């Protein structure tokens, strides 16, 4: 679903990023059902540039997008979520035959960076793609950049 930017190990496919004590295996996204986009209530912050990009992608304007898909919280804008009977999920998460983000090419920075968030490490039970940095994990080494 979200898939982050980073440095992919060509042998294992695992992404490692400097400053983080874990890696991320994007292959897990194929079968996890978008756990990072649903569950407990949360915030997905968007800035003005991201709002314009999402509106352009959806073929609408920013005013309509804000009214239909965003909510104002503490003077910031976050993507709305909806209750699906079991938990909350982002309004852009499509749960048909395939679980996918409807705005994946223009998803917000917060989604692109997941699970490599600087303020907190997502719990492993939320993201099955998280890989601990251990000697047993092939490719578990630092790579430049990040």
- What does the binding site for ligand SF4 look like in residue numbers (CB under 6 A)? 1-2, 28-29, 32, 34-37, 44, 79, 90, 92-93, 101, 103, 107, 111, 114-115, 126-129
102 vs 143 by CB, closer to ligand SF4: 102
Shortest distance (Å) from residue 102 CB to ligand SF4? 7
Sheet harboring 15-16: ordered strands across? 7-8, 15-16, 22-24, 130-132
Q: Which residue has the tokens 């999920």?
A: 89
36 vs 77 by CB, closer to ligand SF4: 36
The rounded distance, in Å, linking the Cα atoms of 23 and 139 is 10
126 vs 140 by CB, closer to ligand SF4: 126
30 vs 64 by CB, closer to ligand SF4: 30
Contact criterion met (CB below 8 Å) for 69 and 135 = no
Shortest distance (Å) from residue 51 CB to ligand SF4? 12
Shortest distance (Å) from residue 73 CB to ligand SF4? 15
3-state secondary structure of 55: helix
Shortest distance (Å) from residue 91 CB to ligand SF4? 7
């Amino acid at each position: 679903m979200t898939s982050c930017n980073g440095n992919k190990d060509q042998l294992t496919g695992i992404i490692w990023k400097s400053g983080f004590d874990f890696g991320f295996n994007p292959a897990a996204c194929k079968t996890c059902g978008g756990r990072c986009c649903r569950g407990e209530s949360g915030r997905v912050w968007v800035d003005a540039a991201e709002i314009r990009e999402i509106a352009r992608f959806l073929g609408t304007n920013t005013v309509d997008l804000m009214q239909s898909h965003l909510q104002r919280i503490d003077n910031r804008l976050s993507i709305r979520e909806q209750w699906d009977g079991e938990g909350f999920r982002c309004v852009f998460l499509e749960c048909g035959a395939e679980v996918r983000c409807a705005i994946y090419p223009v998803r917000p920075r917060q989604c692109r960076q997941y699970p490599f968030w600087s303020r907190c490490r997502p719990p492993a039970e939320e993201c099955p793609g998280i890989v601990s940095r251990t000697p047993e994990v092939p490719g578990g080494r630092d790579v430049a950049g990040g």
